[in-house]
Chain A
């Protein structure tokens, strides 16, 4: 039962963690300033687009992480939610005059509702079987997009206009896309963190660790699994809606099984169940095809190899360590403990 501690990183991670906790506020401010200033370092559009894609896939990672990392349900169909979000937002932008923000919210809601519905089979399914249903779901979404021509325009895809907010059109030149991405990413991150450190998050974790024990603690397993699906799909839908606004054109070929696998890979490479891992996973896996152009056609072979080696030597993910710092007690409790007996 006892898991051995990882052979490396233990000894240097802890001081880093302690350091970061001590200087938490300056560290966040520094990071914030860096991210805000990033567009003004003079990168070209290609690089900026890459940054935005990393942001989008970080969101996708965070979304899937709620399902996979917290609740322990593996989805191989998140490209489906991504597609639903993207199409909802794009179609609304094409056919109505609704503001971008509203289409984004619509994307979130649609995707979330579908997520909840997809979560229903969790009443009866577990483990591998559930994963398979999600896989089927992802493919079905694609088939629907291809065949429901009157709405989705079939295989031709949808051409969506540039979003406008506060009378300003988003472009790469004015960095509208980049800053929107930052805001959405920040919201997603805060939501993830808020859920994790609450009754809901603990229920998710309990389900992941041991479903029967969780049931015996009075946790309504099914309800929480559906909730996890809904939250995860909602976040993925937002990412999809934003993606649709970024791209001049979307079609069924963007949302393949490979994208689902990519999102799963981000979660796993970064470190399942951690938030920090999602950002690193997205940076590595999104930048990888770009920086590895010299490998030419071999780069996807290397990508496959990377996954295999990861699973073999560091299945918990690159940043997947367990903190050795004391548990973060609520502030009110800390005060009382300090002033109390000890």
Chain B
């Protein structure tokens, strides 16, 4: 059984089938990308993986445990954590607070510990804060610890989202278009960074609509269009796949391929 196995997941809204029987799998330590034109159903796949949507048909199995139709909270606990296409940070909070919220599920002291500031509270708070600082430093946000999340530059905000996901002790990071809105140089840097994350032992599942961005770093790529998987394989196979070229050129996303 693969690390994360997705088989035949389907989701429809009203009459519209957004995702139709998609299969894929991810092995531990891989970088796997799901690409496709805008509106292909990529984010819907993520939403099913993270429990935002229920799947109509199909199953998702992580580390031999089915996780489909579990609550988002249970899925985070199981080890899947995500970022968002349009950044969803806690903007009015400090950077470090954002990461501390990520550690929420692993903080064990109870409400009364915090009311009476018990030793357990002090100890755990200190541990989690140190952990948060460590994550931030490793991701290159060390000097931003005290800033408010919304006052940071765009690229740093993207990184903070990843840091926050890491803080949940995630085993698989689901990154939803992490390079959106970045210039080529910034997105290249980000991809390098994602590679270092993989080298640290994280398994990474990426969504991207611009295939150039993920070409170089992905171990394997899945292509979906109109809710269906149309191709899978390593980078050079995907580039030369006719269905993929057609989807990108013939579909509504000429601009993406032309870029």
A residues near B (Cβ < 8 Å) are 1-3, 191, 194-195, 197-203, 205-206, 209-210, 212-220, 227, 322, 326-327, 329-333, 336-337
- Using C-beta atoms within 8 Å of the partner chain, give the interface range for chain B: 35 or more
A334 to chain B, nearest CB (A): 9
Contact (Cβ within 8 A) A212 B126: no
Kindly state the separation between the CA atoms of A123 and B100 in the bound complex, as whole angstroms.
25
Kindly state the separation between the CA atoms of A252 and B205 in the bound complex, as whole angstroms.
59
Contact (Cβ within 8 A) B92 A202: no
Kindly state the separation between the CA atoms of A217 and B123 in the bound complex, as whole angstroms.
22
Contact (Cβ within 8 A) B151 A2: yes
Which residues of chain A have C-beta atoms less than 8 A from B76's C-beta?
216-218
The answer to whether B105 has its CB under 8 Å from any CB of chain A is yes
B97 to chain A, nearest CB (A): 6
13 more CB-based (< 8 A) A-B contacts, given A218-B105, A332-B125, A333-B133: A1-B91, A3-B91, A195-B115, A198-B114, A202-B101, A203-B104, A205-B97, A212-B88, A216-B84, A217-B102, A217-B104, A322-B92, A336-B130
A44 to chain B, nearest CB (A): 38
Q: 14 A-B residue contacts at CB 8 Å?
A: A199-B104, A200-B111, A200-B114, A202-B101, A203-B104, A210-B88, A213-B84, A213-B88, A218-B77, A219-B101, A327-B96, A330-B125, A332-B126, A333-B129
The answer to whether B138 has its CB under 8 Å from any CB of chain A is no
The answer to whether B53 has its CB under 8 Å from any CB of chain A is no
Kindly state the separation between the CA atoms of A217 and B167 in the bound complex, as whole angstroms.
9
B257 to chain A, nearest CB (A): 29
Q: Mark B138-170, 1 if CB is under 8 A from A, else 0.
A: 000000011010110000000000001000100
B residues near A (Cβ < 8 Å) are 50, 52, 72-73, 76-77, 81-82, 84, 87-94, 96-97, 100-102, 104-105, 107, 109, 111, 114-117, 121-123, 125-126, 129-130, 133, 145-146, 148, 150-151, 164, 168
Which residues of chain A have C-beta atoms less than 8 A from B121's C-beta?
198
Contact (Cβ within 8 A) A327 B146: yes
Kindly state the separation between the CA atoms of A3 and B149 in the bound complex, as whole angstroms.
11
Q: Which of B90, B96, B115, B146 contacts A194 (CB 8 A)?
A: B115
Contact (Cβ within 8 A) A216 B81: yes
**Known contacts A194-B115, A202-B101: A209-B90 contact under CB 8 Å:** yes
| Secondary structure of the B contact surface, majority rule | helix
Scoring B50, B126, B168 by chain A CB atoms within 10 A of each residue's CB, the highest score goes to B126
Which residues of chain A have C-beta atoms less than 8 A from B52's C-beta?
212, 215-216
B126 to chain A, nearest CB (A): 4
Contact (Cβ within 8 A) B73 A337: no
Which residues of chain A have C-beta atoms less than 8 A from B130's C-beta?
333, 336
Contact (Cβ within 8 A) A210 B90: yes
Closest residue on chain A to residue B91 by CB atoms: A209
Contact (Cβ within 8 A) A194 B91: no
Closest residue on chain B to residue A2 by CB atoms: B150
Kindly state the separation between the CA atoms of A209 and B87 in the bound complex, as whole angstroms.
12
Kindly state the separation between the CA atoms of A144 and B82 in the bound complex, as whole angstroms.
48
Which residues of chain B have C-beta atoms less than 8 A from A217's C-beta?
76, 81, 101-102, 104-105, 164, 168
Kindly state the separation between the CA atoms of A197 and B100 in the bound complex, as whole angstroms.
11
Contact (Cβ within 8 A) B82 A333: no
Q: Which of A2, A206, A326, A330 contacts B122 (CB 8 A)?
A: A330
Kindly state the separation between the CA atoms of A209 and B115 in the bound complex, as whole angstroms.
23
B125 to chain A, nearest CB (A): 5
Which residues of chain A have C-beta atoms less than 8 A from B94's C-beta?
327
Contact (Cβ within 8 A) B96 A213: no
Kindly state the separation between the CA atoms of A330 and B133 in the bound complex, as whole angstroms.
12
Contact (Cβ within 8 A) A194 B101: no
Contact (Cβ within 8 A) B84 A327: no
Which residues of chain A have C-beta atoms less than 8 A from B72's C-beta?
215-216, 218
Kindly state the separation between the CA atoms of A214 and B52 in the bound complex, as whole angstroms.
12
**Known contacts A202-B104, A215-B73, A218-B77: A326-B146 contact under CB 8 Å:** yes
Kindly state the separation between the CA atoms of A114 and B116 in the bound complex, as whole angstroms.
25
Contact (Cβ within 8 A) A216 B50: yes
Which residues of chain A have C-beta atoms less than 8 A from B114's C-beta?
194-195, 197-201
Contact (Cβ within 8 A) B89 A213: yes
Kindly state the separation between the CA atoms of A213 and B161 in the bound complex, as whole angstroms.
10
A172 to chain B, nearest CB (A): 32
B121 to chain A, nearest CB (A): 7
Which residues of chain A have C-beta atoms less than 8 A from B77's C-beta?
218
Contact (Cβ within 8 A) B117 A194: yes
A18 to chain B, nearest CB (A): 14
Q: Which of A1, A202, A215, A337 contacts B150 (CB 8 A)?
A: A1
Which residues of chain A have C-beta atoms less than 8 A from B96's C-beta?
327, 329
Kindly state the separation between the CA atoms of A220 and B168 in the bound complex, as whole angstroms.
14
Kindly state the separation between the CA atoms of A201 and B109 in the bound complex, as whole angstroms.
13
Q: Which of A191, A198, A201, A220 contacts B73 (CB 8 A)?
A: A220
B50 to chain A, nearest CB (A): 6
Kindly state the separation between the CA atoms of A197 and B50 in the bound complex, as whole angstroms.
29
Kindly state the separation between the CA atoms of A326 and B97 in the bound complex, as whole angstroms.
12
A119 to chain B, nearest CB (A): 15
A142 to chain B, nearest CB (A): 31
Which residues of chain B have C-beta atoms less than 8 A from A213's C-beta?
84, 88-90
Which residues of chain B have C-beta atoms less than 8 A from A197's C-beta?
114
Closest residue on chain A to residue B73 by CB atoms: A218
B184 to chain A, nearest CB (A): 23
B74 to chain A, nearest CB (A): 8
Which residues of chain B have C-beta atoms less than 8 A from A210's C-beta?
88-90
